[in-house]
Amino acid sequence: MKKGLPKRQKKYILYRAERTRIREMKTRLMKTYEDITFKESKDNDLKRENANIDGDTAMGTMLKYGSEGAKQFCEMFLLKPEHAEAHKNGDIHIHDLDFYILTTTCCQIDIVKLFKNGFSTGHGYLREPNDIQSYSALACIAIQSNQNDQHGGQSIPNFDYGMALGVAKTYSRLYRQNLAKGLELLLGMKDASTLVNMVSKKLEDEDGLYPTLVPNERYLDKERKHLLEFIPDVKLINKVQSFAIEKAQAETDRNTYQAMEAFIHNLNTMHSRAGAQVPFSSINYGTDISPEGRLVIKNLLLATEAGLGNGETPIFPVQIFKVKEGINYNAGDPNYDMFKLACRVSAKRMFPNFAFLDAPFNLKYYRPGRPETEVAYMGCRTRVIGNVYDPSREIVYGRGNLSFTTINLPRIALRSNNDISKFFTELDEKIDLVIDQLLERFEIQARKKVKNFPFLMGQGVWIDSDKLGWEDEVREVLKHGTLSVGFIGLAECLKALTGKHHGESEESQKLGLKIIGHMRKRMDEASQKCKMNFTLLATPAEGLAGRFVKMDRKIYGSIEGVTDREYYTNSFHVPVYYEINAFDKIRIEAPYHELTNAGHITYIEVDGDPKQNLKAFEKIIRAMKEAGIGYGAVNHPIDRDPVCGYTGIIGNTCPYCGREEGEIKFERIRRITGYLVGTLDRFNDAKREEERDRVKHMSFKSQNMR
């Protein structure tokens, strides 16, 4: 009896500890539910965790109920104790914990493949589209449907290439219609459509020819010869063909604009994501030099510039213009005019952002004539291209991130007490912990079946999923995706270790590059060991920016430059409050882009109206490209008076109508992590303070840099 007592005591102690933990979790969950239920979002930071959600609506509130309950279930019953403890105490942050057992993060949708022969959303089959407006509508449906299978963003990496096919079909149809119309008007032919369709089919079947946006003389010549068999007047046929070309080109241009306008309007109004959100959508474009592709790019940009119904700035999709020498960067490049237009539109609407395909770490994947090798970015910054699992498939189409977890760098630095060696020892321990946690999460994801992702896998959106059956596991195809380790607060980490951040000190910059370089090296080693794609992410922290610093302040107190603000600085960025000019900021942040292969972004903040000095705006974009930035954007204030419709920079008084800001608030568009938000009311407390602290790196008021 006595011999067995210690064993029984130990079991009882463990039992009581577990019961206490469960009781505390239940109590914490009920308190969370109470706050969600009875507090408005302005008084509850939790309800402003995601600025794309209105936490005061029924669906926004319901999402938070489900989200918070799911998080605590995962903490209690799914996570390894060491992973749960590290997340709970703020050493790491497991992103999207509420979706831990459900799905993956994001995907890059190849719309060319998806639209070929049509697809199903589970509620009916959609035929292959035959018109640019149908292409536009189906692109929205694809984003909407895939959003329901994943918790993160949805991206179309080949938007211009995909939509160009719709433009070609539209022109071909309109040319034939106008040719028949011309024959009816000039000759009074009642069966002109029958004749035109017969000739058109013959040319397509026998010669593989069809009408093209830039007239094909071979097609026109053969068409003319066939028409002469029925209409013995070559001058009249030439006249009708010229009429058809002119009308079809103008109508195709107009239809394309309307299709792009509808695409933007739809993605800002389709509340298909949990919590009454619109889908987190991104599109990449700018490198299709075909006449049809150029028409798509032009009209997409013009529709973005025009804005929504009352002139509002579109929040979605996140637009990324791909910059490439020989394509659109220099005068004489075929799409140079599109690059200039992209700068003009971004100076007004803050979109598009800019991806730089000539950055060495992007250029190494680029293969001319193969759009799938053009690096694309998703939403805030996500990047997926390298493929250790299958090096022959280093492409963007059908791939995405599986999950990511962020390490709290400032805490490791504070624990190290200025001991660099100790810092790296603990950093390695945390990296080991996160790698183990990501693999644990992958095991859950890998046991899912195709039927769990009816659109993503069932319609072959994810790479190689079209080779699987409905009951097959998705383990092997998921290995094309990425498992990412993120980091936050490099600036505060360096401040704790050296007394200065990397914007203040060249020595701190060297240490910063050493730290992030070490993390990247560990990811590369894990990739080779596991034959999976471990990558390093410059974390886009929204709610996390405030979570970590609050916890660290409780432990270490308020430390100047480290824990004395309500937020940690995002990833490797120079602190938003630090006075620095645009080009120095670009120079300092550029080397980190090469190291963060899971995604990165550099912002430049400007004041004034960039539209008044497009040359200076373009200079910033060119400086990013030349410095080796992978993905960059320019932030500038976009304010709108909803009463008079004025869009520009508004202080407390509208400069157009003189209205003071009262109960009807001015709309103030700001960028939060990578996407735009139409009201600062949706920012959480940490992000509100960060936005207030942002200094300008270039002034467009005086047209001089500070």
Which domain covers residue 257, as residue numbers?
A: 106-394
In this structure, which amino acid lies at residue 50?
N
Q: Which residue has the tokens 């059956």?
A: 469
**pLDDT attached to residue 41:** 76
pLDDT class of 692 with cuts at 50, 70, 90: confident
Residues 30 and 151 in one domain: no
pTM: 0.92
Question: pLDDT by residue (tens digit) across 409-451?
Answer: 999 999 999 999 999 999 999 999 999 999 999 999 999 999 9
- The CATH number that applies at residue 169 is 3.20.70.20
Residues 153 and 302 in one domain: yes
Structure tokens at 559: 């430390």
Structure tokens at 304: 């973005």
Residues 25 and 130 in one domain: no
* Residue 684 pLDDT > 70: no
Question: pLDDT by residue (tens digit) across 12-56?
Answer: 666 666 666 666 666 777 777 778 777 887 777 665 666 566 777
CA distances to 2, 15, 18, 335 from 6, in Å: 8, 14, 18, 78
Residues 37 and 116 in one domain: no
Higher pLDDT, 65 or 666: 666
Structure tokens at 300: 């997409």
Structure tokens at 240: 């009708």
Question: pLDDT by residue (tens digit) across 599-614?
Answer: 999 999 999 899 999 9
Mean pLDDT of the chain: 92
Q: CA–CA separation, 457 vs 464, rounded Å?
A: 9
Residues 379 and 280 in one domain: yes
Q: CA–CA separation, 623 vs 626, rounded Å?
A: 5
In total, how many domains does the chain have?
Answer: 2
Say if 293 falls within a structural domain.
yes
Print burial letters for 500-521: b (CB count within 10 Å at least 16), e (below 16). bbbbbbeebbebbbebbeebbe
Q: CA–CA separation, 43 vs 55, rounded Å?
A: 11
**pLDDT attached to residue 706:** 36
What number is the average pLDDT over the span 535-563?
93
Q: Which H or E run contains 184?
A: helix 159-187
Q: Which residue has the tokens 């060119």?
A: 622
**pLDDT attached to residue 24:** 61
Residues 57 and 114 in one domain: no
Say if 182 falls within a structural domain.
yes
Q: Which residues contact 451 (CB under 8 A, 6 or more apart)?
A: 458, 470, 471
The residue from 20, 49, 69 where one domain ends is: 69
Residues 117 and 52 in one domain: no
**pLDDT attached to residue 680:** 59
Number of other CB atoms surrounding residue 301 within 10 Å: 25
**pLDDT attached to residue 670:** 84
Number of other CB atoms surrounding residue 334 within 10 Å: 14
The residue from 365, 394, 423 where one domain ends is: 394
- The three-class DSSP label of residue 566 is coil
**pLDDT attached to residue 66:** 79
